[in-house]
Amino acid sequence: MARKEYSFELKNSLSELDKLCEYLEDYGQKIGLSKKLIFEINLALDELFTNIISYGFKDEEEHIIKVTITPQNE
């Protein structure tokens, strides 16, 4: 698996969860991850992203959340 970093940005809105899933699925397929692994990573990122939106900002303004994924070989 290549060790190429992949980054994307999302607004702090739950409506961005679909984009998060799309970005992850596209990238996961490109680097050869199994559907099961993509699902598991998506589940974790979905929870993390939801928590950032729910608890990470003290105002109601729009913010950008940058997601960076770096595959690691063991």
**pTM for the structure as a whole:** 0.82
Going residue by residue through the chain (74 aa), what tens digit of pLDDT does each one get? Answer: 445 889 999 999 999 999 999 999 999 999 999 999 999 999 999 999 999 999 999 898 999 999 999 988 64
Give dist(CA 61, CA 19) in Å, integer.
20
> For residues 18 and 71, is the Cβ–Cβ distance under 8 A?
no
* Domain edges within the chain: 6-69
3-class DSSP state for residue 32? coil
Q: Report the relative pairing of strands 6-11 and 64-69 from DSSP bridges.
A: antiparallel
